[in-house]
Amino acid sequence: MKKLLIANWKMKPKTLKEAIVLAKLSDDKDIYLAPPYIFLQSIKNVLKKATIGAQDLFQENPPKGGAFTGAVSAAMLKSIGIGFVILGHSERRALGETDVIISKKIAIACESKITPVLCVGESEGIRKKGIEEAMRFVAEQIKNDVSSIPKTVKKMIVAYEPIWAIGTGNNDTPESASQMARHIKKILSDQYSIKAKVLYGGSVNSKNISEFAKESDIDGFLVGGASADPKEFKTIIKIIKSI
Ligand code: 13P
C-alpha cells in the first residue's frame, strides 16, 4: 500500500530563497508539503507535482472576513489552492490551543473542503503510566477534537505524534505506533463512521522509516525536522517511493 508522506517544515527555513530550494528538491508526486504561511504562495508557484498545505488556520471564518489581527482564514487558504491543513499539533497545543478551538478548526476545514490532518499524542508522563493510559488519553483527544465535525465527513487523516518522540530522536516503536493507529481507526470508525488514515510522527528519519512502513496500520508519516533537511528528505522520499 502506498504511504502518505507529509512534511511539516514548522518555522523553517529562514528565508524565502531557502524555502524555494527546499520545495524544488521535495517536489515529487504524492508528497505533501506544509511550509510556513508566508511562503505558501511562492512555493505553490514553483511546485509541479507535490501538494501544498498549511500548518494551521484560524478558528473563525466569517463570510466577509473579520477583525482578527495576524490570523489566516480557511477562505484565504482555499483562495490560493491549499489542499490540506495540519491542526492540533502539540506545539500549538503547548501555546494554549484547546480542544474547543481545535474542534472549531476541524469543522471549518471540513466545511471549506480543506483536508484536516489532526494531530494527537500523549506526553511522556502519560506514556510512563503505560500504553493503556496513552490510549485513553488519545481517545479523549479525538472525542473532543472531532466533536463539531460535519456528519457528512466520512474520511479523515490523523497523525499520531507522541509528544516525547517529537524532535528528540527518541521515536516510538513501530509496534506500539501501529497499536495506537489501530486504536484511532477503531474509535473513528465505531463512534463516527469515519474511515481514518493514521500517520506516525516523531523523530522519523531515513534510518527508521522503513521499519515503520512495514506496519500495515500505519498509513504514512508526518515528518518534522528531517523534512527541512534537503538531503535527508530526498532519501526519505526515495525510500517511500520504493515501498
Ligand atoms: P520531528 O520529525 O522533528 O520529530 O517532528 C515531528 C512533528 O512534529 C511533525 O509534525
Nearest CA among 57, 167, 141 for reference residue 107? 57
Average pLDDT over all residues of the chain: 97
- Mean pLDDT, rounded, for 150-173: 97
- Closest atom, ligand 1, to C-alpha of 226: 2
For residue 185, what is its C-alpha cell? 481507526
Nearest CA among 115, 58, 104 for reference residue 82? 115
pLDDT digits (tens, 9 = 90+) for 36-88: 999 999 999 999 999 999 999 999 999 988 999 999 999 999 999 999 999 99
115: number of Cβ within 10 Å: 16
In the block, cell 508519516 appears at 221
pLDDT digits (tens, 9 = 90+) for 96-133: 999 999 999 999 999 999 999 999 999 999 999 999 99
- 74 C-alpha vs ligand 1 centroid, how far in Å? 23
- Closest atom, ligand 1, to C-alpha of 166: 4
Query: What φ, ψ does residue 171 adopt, rounded to 5°?
Result: -70, 155
- 177 C-alpha vs ligand 1 centroid, how far in Å? 14
Residue 241 has pLDDT above 80, yes or no: yes
Is any atom of ligand 1 closer than 6 Å to the C-beta of 134?
no
Give the integer Cα–Cα distance in Å for 234 and 198. Answer: 22
Domain-wise residue ranges, the chain? 4-242
Out of 89, 97, 183, 215, the active site residue is 89
Residue 237 has pLDDT above 60, yes or no: yes
Where b means 16+ CB within 10 Å and e means fewer, 5-22 reads: bbbbbbebbeeeeebbeb
**Could you tell me the pLDDT band of residue 164, with boundaries at 50, 70 and 90?**
very high
Q: Which of 33, 87, 164, 204 to mutate to test the pocket of ligand 1 (most atoms within 8 A of CB)?
A: 204
- Between vectors from CA 94 to CA 39 and to CA 87, what angle results, nearest 5°? 50
* Domain at 4-242, CATH from 2.40.50.100, 3.40.640.10, 3.20.20.70, 1.10.240.10: 3.20.20.70
Tell me the pTM: 0.97
- Closest atom, ligand 1, to C-alpha of 203: 4
- Closest atom, ligand 1, to C-alpha of 205: 2
Whether the bond between 230 and the residue before it is cis, its omega within 30 degrees of 0, is: no
Give the integer Cα–Cα distance in Å for 113 and 206. Answer: 32
Q: Report the share of the chain in percent with pLDDT over 70.
A: 100
Is any atom of ligand 1 closer than 6 Å to the C-beta of 224?
yes
183 is an active site residue: no
In the block, cell 497499536 appears at 179
Residue nearest to atom 7 of ligand 1 (CA): 224
Residue nearest to atom 9 of ligand 1 (CA): 224
pLDDT at 1: 54
- Mean pLDDT, rounded, for 185-208: 97
**Could you tell me the pLDDT band of residue 24, with boundaries at 50, 70 and 90?**
very high
pLDDT at 80: 97
Is any atom of ligand 1 closer than 6 Å to the C-beta of 201?
yes
Residue 216 buriedness (CB in 10 A; 0-12 / 13-18 / 19+): exposed
161 is an active site residue: yes
Spatial neighbors of 107 by CB under 8 A, at least 6 apart, are: 148, 149, 150
pLDDT at 85: 98
